Amino acid sequence: MTSITTISRLLRPRFFAALGLSVAAALAACSDPASTSGTSSTSGASSSTSGGGGATCDKAPPSGFTTVVAPSTDGTLGIDTAVVADENDDPMIAYQWNSPGNNQDQTAVYFTRWDRCAGAFTTPVKVDVVGGVSTNGPTRRVALAYDLATKKLAIAYEEIFQVTGYNASNGIFLQTSADLGATWTGKLQVSEQKPGDIEQARGPVVALTGGKIQIAYAQDNHACCLLADPNCGGCAAVWYLEGDGATFTRAMVSDAAGPVQVSGSTVSIAVDSAGKPALAFFQGPATGYNTTAIYWRPGSAPVKVMDSNDIQNDDPSLSLAFDGTRPRLAAHLVAETSAPYDLRVATSTDGLTWAAPVQLPRDGSSFTAWYQSLAIDSKGNAAVSAYINGGSGDNACGDPRIIRSSDLKTWAACGADADKKYADLGGKYVDSYFTHENKLTMAFDGTLGGDQSGSGVVLWREP
């Protein structure tokens, strides 16, 4: 099955920047948004502690590394990690537990968040059982969004669904929560597809803005053949939906020739400071190996950001973010045969014209691949967090990789584990955001223990 990938990253509106740091500091010390029970992570399921009883609800997550969900050797726990921030800039995390009990049909999506009353993460809530979805990288299969104004969460995810008499299909589903993830309701299949396996949908992204939910995903063979190709035998395109959670309008990303053909790729969504969403994804060539990063606003024509100069990229991935209303794009997309880099960043003031991409440095010979997350702070500083996929051991910093810039031209590479305390963290499925104090927060799959045979969910917060 062809793999279409998604990087799930919602750039939060700069709520705290608009209020000012003094007000933001007061908000950061307020009670937990839901005052629900919390957890201390002692096993793969976590153990519950009380979040009520008149406790002082000002316990912020610690800086540095924290185990969110303890690693388990039962299946693969912690993959497809997605993180967003609540009112206090505290992390809310969704992830997948694949094949618990060695039963792929029991693969499920979970949610947890930091509880300021308990000073711990809440007991993970099982959102849904999704069945035997693929685990191939760099695909992400879980996306999370939070609306600060309405205090509403949305989660989009892949699920295998079966129609009697047909092969199982891979679809995109949505649920929402009005109680900060304690319960999830309104399950809806948002991918429109006939039964069978030729219209597979995958790689969801989701955003919440202006009281509306925005969802995008890639899909094979669903009304996506080019107008000039009446003999089309197969196609793949990006669908964009906007609605209230029950009903949606839908559009396929198209240009004058018809649907833009998505390449085995990632889709990313971001919302600018004016509350307007945008997508980025890869377009494949009709012939050859040239892969093109595309930027698209709903209702507008798609715009080329960068390409691979006809160099083959087997597993490209990307992440879109905004500095105010100015889009920035980070991509694993090389354009030289022997590239001395893995990542490039392109910038634009209006989304219509893009500057030439800047190559990001490596730390020693260690190289990144598959997963990255671009975050922009309130001053316009950028951080690209990325998964370490290999190297010869000459890196100065530990994992995951963090590459920073204050001007989007000069970049410096280090890592979250600057002292190399933890071996082989990697940083799979890394996702990130900046707090109102311009401190970076990341969540990813991994373990802080010496035994790397299992995996869980790890949080890192900048001191």
Q: What is the DSSP string of 285-329?
A: -SSSS--EEEEE-TTS--EEEEE-TT---SS-EEEEEEETTEEEE
> Which pLDDT belongs to residue 30?
54
Arithmetic mean of pLDDT, 204-229: 91
Cα–Cα distance measured from residue 41 to residue 36, given in angstroms and rounded to the nearest whole number:
16
Among 28-42, 116-130, 273-287, top mean pLDDT goes to 116-130
Cα–Cα distance measured from residue 241 to residue 256, given in angstroms and rounded to the nearest whole number: 20
Q: How many CA atoms lie within 13 A of 215 on its CB side?
A: 35
Average pLDDT over residues 202-228: 92
- Averaged confidence pLDDT in the chain: 88
DSSP, res 106? G
pLDDT digits (tens, 9 = 90+) for 323-374: 999 999 999 999 999 999 999 999 999 999 999 999 999 999 999 999 999 9
Residues 6+ apart with CB under 8 A from 150: 208, 211
pLDDT of residue 196: 87
Q: What is the pTM of this model?
A: 0.89
Instruction: Kindly indicate the confidence band of residue 149, based on its pLDDT and cuts at 50, 70 and 90.
Output: very high
- Indicate if the pLDDT at residue 282 is higher than 60: yes
Q: What is the pLDDT of residue 19?
A: 38
pLDDT given for residue 285 in this prediction: 87
Which whole number is the average pLDDT over 63-68? Answer: 97
* Percentage of residues of the chain with pLDDT beyond 70: 88
261 has a pLDDT exceeding 60 = yes
pLDDT band for position 450 (cuts 50, 70, 90): confident
What does the domain layout of the chain look like in residue ranges? 5-461
What's the 3-state SS for 124-191? CEEEEECCCCCCCCCCCCEEEEEECCCCEEEEEEEEEECCCCCCCEEEEEEEEECCCCCCCEEEEECC
pLDDT of 197: 87
pLDDT tens for 18-59 read: 333 343 444 444 567 665 433 333 333 443 334 444 568 999
Q: In terms of pLDDT, which residue wins out, 426 or 128?
A: 128
Give the model's pLDDT for residue 7.
34
pLDDT > 60? residue 137:
yes
Cα torsion 282, 372, 18, 15: sign: positive
Helix (H) or strand (E) holding 115: strand 108-115
pLDDT of res. 32: 73
Q: Is the pLDDT of residue 126 over 70?
A: yes
Residue 134, pLDDT > 80, answer yes
Between the two ends of the chain, the Cα-to-Cα distance in Å is: 43
State the virtual CA torsion across 38, 43, 45, 47 in degrees, nearest 10: -30
The domain over range 5-461 is classified in CATH as 2.120.10.10: yes
For residues 51 and 252, which has the higher predicted lDDT (pLDDT)? Answer: 252
Q: Are residues 95 and 15 in contact, defined by beta-carbon separation less than 8 angstroms? A: no
Mean pLDDT of 247-258: 94
* Both tokens assigned to 59: 């316990």
